């Protein structure tokens, strides 16, 4: 019987046939795909013909189609709908995949062919895109250790395999802690909570098989609980559980994992001739050096901390007026900030939420993409990996552009956070393929599902990533879509958030769940006016995390990451009532893999650009200016990694931005 993962997919638009795939199919499919890919690599490396761009670089681009299919399906379900079988498979697969890709990057015959082409690059008559792919291929081999020999080469393979296993363990420990903890609430404990929080708590209780409402560690439940519960004792229990993820002792504790990961990264960087891991990692980013990252973060830290300190004094006075003595604690901040927001802006999130229906916000994201880029979205009835998922065909002028899948609701089988991934990336070589793109979020279920304003921004953010994938128009998959510098990849996503705040978008799509009435003008005005509320808190918790990440990697690896974290925060003068957005034991961005290691700053680096990029629209004909939209698509959204990020931004804007637009956008300057 043919394995459904490896067979030809005869589904609409060749979407993975999720309804025919069983967990038992993954391991044999992976083994067969690895074997096929190894044979392809051997044929390229051992080709008796002189190396050419076609028989070496393009051959590498074309290889591994089966492996791409297996991994796209497996990692989609492992992240968004895990179970014990999939977790065990992930533990088995990670060292196997690390060894496989390590074997390719350390294949001396293959590297020799690439290096020979690199040496002759000026004589190869390559297109600009081909020259870029050759450069990236050669650089990728060198940075992976292809030029290492002997003991150094062997040690590099060991390090990569161990890092892959540690990253998987880190993720699964975190998921276990998030899945297993919940706090029962009595009917009395619900007092003071808005209906949407009560509904979410009851739905979470049903999912946990409990007869009654519960608070879980899903951000979509715990944050509103911390915002609205008048029960300080319960807020403290919930907050401490939330921030203790990965640091509870026992088999799911991530602290030793983090220490070993940092040590191995440093050793890897030294083997490649770098002073430290941050120097290695940032070499290929827009920022280039740790000092430039630190400079940006500190320019933002000072005004953000000043704002947070001033806010803390106000919140402390509010707390003491409630008869609570002593200092403001981290489990108090959101509660009193919400009270303050209601008082100062007369903006009540419980009153706001019915206007932010999930379905209407999806429509809003689609409508903006239609006005900006001419995209149309038609519902697709296809089998997907979970009943919560939905799919749409994306077209322009009647032509198929992409398939978009949305998986929006929190559940115990899904890791926390929100992300965008491509199950298939756009390419024209070796054949034309349209992308299949997924947005995964963790919103609370409801009937109808209602979002917080932050949730709505998250939806627009991830859809910005999706547009980067869907509008990609390059030849080679390796530079398609979001295959760009890490500190550039957040530009399209953060830029797209701005369209949520365009008054005419909210006026059309922010309609009441029960009455259908549009958001009243005075509420709309308050929403926009309050958009920067509590930015001191939000900026401090983010920048602290980014600076800890940088200091972990810029220098010798700390033997005790928790002590290092404490030292960095003390040096910054971290406000005591604000925690890091991601403390070390649950800092999955940095420890689940290399993606954002030394790179968590990249959201802020991109924000410097997104504030400036949206200003370009406002300076032209407004948020939907057609000339600016065309320039954005032609120079950024369609180009993938075909040119240096800095060149792409210059082509769009004509200059590079300073930090002023960001500080102004966050309301951190007068």
Residue 454 lies in a domain: yes
The half-sphere exposure of 352 on its side-chain side, counting CA atoms within 13 A, is 23
Q: Are residues 136 and 199 in the same domain?
A: no
Q: Are residues 460 and 520 in the same domain?
A: yes
**Total domains in the fold of the chain:** 3
Burial label, 211 (beta-carbon count in 10 A; 0-12, 13-18, 19+)? exposed
20 in a structural domain = yes
| 366 and 479 fall within a common domain | yes
Q: What confidence tens digit (pLDDT) does each residue in 351-366 have? A: 999 999 999 999 999 9
**Is 633 domain-assigned?**
no
Query: pLDDT tens digits, residue range 19-59?
Result: 999 999 999 999 999 999 999 999 999 999 999 999 999 99
Angle between helices 255-271 and 535-553 (to 10 degrees): 50
Which pLDDT score, from 0 to 100, does residue 661 have? 84
462 tagged catalytic: yes
Residue 523 belongs to a domain:
yes
Residue 623 falls inside a structural domain: no
What is the span of the domain harbouring residue 52?
12-147
- Whether 498 and 405 map to the same domain: the answer is yes
Do 187 and 136 fall within a single domain? Answer: no
Residue 114 lies in a domain: yes
The tokens of 308 are what? 């947070």
Q: Within a 10 A sphere around the Cβ of 324, how many other Cβ atoms?
A: 15
Q: Is the pLDDT of residue 349 over 90?
A: no
Same domain, 522 and 409: yes
* E strand or H helix that includes residue 136: helix 128-144
Computed from CA positions of residues 398, 402, 407, 413, in that sequence, does the dihedral angle turn out positive or negative? Answer: positive
CA–CA gap between residue 16 and residue 227 (Å, rounded):
40
pLDDT tens digits, 124-152: 999 999 999 999 999 999 999 999 999 99
Helices 602-619 and 645-653: crossing angle in degrees, nearest 10, is 20
Three-state SS for 30-93 is: HHHHHHHHHHHHHHHHCCCCCCCHHHHHHHHHHCCHHHHHHHHHHHHHHHHCCCHHHHHHHHHH
Do residues 426 and 516 both lie within one domain?
A: yes
Domain end residue (candidates: 231, 250, 266): 231
Listed in sequence order, the residues at least 6 apart from 280 whose beta carbon sits closer than 8 Å to its beta carbon are 143, 268, 269, 272, 274
> Cα separation of 518 and 512, whole Å?
6
Which token pair is 629?
A: 């939209």
Out of 501, 533, 565, pick the residue that ends a domain. Answer: 533
The domain that holds 516 is classified in CATH as 1.10.1370.40
Long-range contacts (CB closer than 8 Å, 24 or more residues apart) made by 49-56: 51/113, 51/114, 51/116, 51/117, 52/117, 52/124, 53/117, 53/124, 53/126, 53/130, 53/134, 56/110, 56/113, 56/114, 56/117
Token match 């939330």: residue?
Answer: 242
- How many residues in the chain? 670
**For 466-494, what is each residue's pLDDT tens digit?**
999 999 999 999 999 999 999 999 999 99
What pLDDT shows up at residue 531?
86
The fraction of the chain above a pLDDT of 70, given in percent, is 100
pLDDT, position 348 = 86
Burial zone of 501 (CB within 10 Å; 0-12 exposed, 13-18 middle, 19+ buried): middle
Q: Is the pLDDT reported for residue 670 higher than 80?
A: no
Residues 505 and 397 in one domain: yes
Catalytic residue (one of 61, 285, 462, 477): 462
Q: Report if residue 315 sits inside a domain.
A: no
Q: What is the pLDDT of residues 385-437, one digit of tens each?
A: 999 999 999 999 999 999 999 999 999 999 989 999 999 999 999 999 999 99
Same domain, 23 and 120: yes
Give a yes or no: residue 429 inside a domain: yes
For residues 222 and 74, state if they share a domain: no
Name the helix (H) or strand (E) containing 266.
helix 255-271
Q: What are the structure tokens assigned to 193, written together? A: 């909570």
Per-residue pLDDT reduced to its tens digit, 580-635:
999 999 999 999 999 999 999 999 999 999 999 999 999 999 999 999 999 999 99
Task: Determine the Cα–Cα distance for residues 368 and 505; give it in Å rounded to an integer.
Answer: 8
The reply to whether 133 and 200 lie within a common domain is no
Q: Which of 92, 120, 147 is the last residue of a domain?
A: 147
Residue 80 and residue 193 share a domain? no
């Amino acid at each position: 019987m043919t394995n459904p993962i490896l067979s030809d997919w005869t589904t609409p638009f060749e979407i993975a046939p999720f309804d025919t795939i069983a967990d038992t199919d993954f391991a044999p499919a992976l083994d067969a795909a690895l074997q096929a890919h190894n044979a392809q690599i051997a044929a390229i490396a051992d080709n008796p013909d002189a190396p050419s761009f076609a028989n070496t670089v393009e051959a590498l681009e074309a290889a591994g189609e089966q492996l791409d299919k297996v991994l796209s399906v497996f990692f989609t379900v492992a992240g968004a709908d895990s179970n014990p079988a999939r977790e065990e498979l992930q533990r088995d697969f990670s060292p196997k995949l690390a060894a496989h890709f390590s074997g390719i990057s350390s294949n001396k015959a293959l590297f020799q062919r690439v290096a020979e082409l690199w040496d002759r690059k000026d004589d190869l008559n390559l297109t600009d895109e081909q020259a870029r792919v050759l450069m990236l291929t050669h650089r990728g081999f060198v940075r992976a250790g292809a030029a290492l020999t002997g003991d150094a080469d062997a040690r590099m393979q060991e390090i990569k395999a161990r890092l892959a296993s540690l990253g998987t363990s880190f993720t699964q420990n975190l998921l276990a802690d998030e899945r297993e903890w919940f706090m029962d609430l009595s009917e009395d404990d619900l007092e003071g909570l808005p209906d949407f929080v009560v509904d979410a708590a009851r739905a979470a209780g049903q999912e946990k098989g409990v007869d009654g409402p519960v608070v879980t560690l899903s951000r979509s439940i715990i944050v509103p609980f911390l915002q609205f519960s008048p029960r300080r004792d319960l807020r403290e229990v919930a907050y401490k559980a939330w921030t203790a993820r990965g640091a509870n002792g026992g088999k799911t504790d991530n602290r030793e994992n983090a220490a070993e990961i940092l040590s191995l990264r440093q050793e890897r960087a030294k083997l490649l001739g770098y002073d430290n891991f941050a120097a290695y990692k940032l070499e290929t980013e827009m920022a280039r050096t740790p000092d430039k990252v630190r400079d940006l973060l500190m320019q933002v830290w000072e005004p953000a901390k000043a704002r947070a300190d001033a806010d803390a004094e106000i919140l402390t006075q509010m707390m003491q007026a409630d008869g609570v003595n002593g200092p403001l604690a981290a489990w108090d901040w959101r509660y009193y900030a919400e009270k303050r927001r209601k008082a100062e802006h007369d903006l009540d999130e419980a009153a706001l939420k019915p206007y932010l229906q999930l379905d209407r916000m999806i429509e809003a994201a689609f409508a903006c993409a239609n006005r900006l880029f001419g995209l149309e979205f038609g519902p697709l009835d296809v089998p997907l990996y979970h009943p919560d998922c939905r799919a749409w065909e994306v077209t322009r002028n009647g032509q198929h552009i992409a398939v978009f899948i949305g998986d929006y609701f929190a559940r115990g089988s899904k890791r926390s956070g929100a992300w965008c991934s491509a199950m298939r990336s756009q390419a024209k070589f070796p054949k034309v393929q349209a992308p299949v793109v997924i947005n995964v979020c963790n919103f609370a279920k409801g009937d109808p599902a209602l979002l917080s304003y932050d949730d709505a921004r998250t939806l627009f953010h991830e859809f910005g990533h999706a547009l980067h994938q869907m509008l990609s128009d390059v030849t080679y998959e390796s530079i398609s879509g979001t295959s760009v510098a890490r500190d550039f990849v957040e530009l399209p996503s953060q830029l797209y958030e701005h369209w949520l705040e365009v008054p005419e978008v909210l006026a059309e799509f922010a309609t009441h769940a029960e009455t259908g009435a549009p958001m009243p003008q005075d509420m709309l005005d308050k929403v926009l006016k309050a958009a920067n509320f509590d930015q001191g808190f939000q900026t401090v918790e983010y920048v602290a995390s980014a600076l800890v990440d940088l200091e972990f990697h810029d220098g010798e690896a700390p033997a005790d990451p928790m002590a290092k974290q404490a030292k960095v925060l003390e040096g910054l003068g971290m406000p005591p009532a604000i925690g890091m957005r991601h403390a070390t034991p649950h800092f999955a961005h940095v420890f689940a893999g290399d993606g954002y290691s030394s790179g968590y700053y990249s959201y802020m680096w991109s924000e410097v650009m997104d504030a400036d990029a949206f200003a370009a629209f406002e300076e032209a004909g407004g948020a939907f200016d057609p000339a600016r939209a065309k320039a954005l698509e032609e120079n950024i959204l369609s180009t993938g990694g075909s040119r240096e990020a800095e060149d792409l931004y210059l082509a769009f804007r004509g200059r590079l931005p300073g930090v002023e637009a960001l500080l102004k956008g966050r309301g951190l300057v007068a």
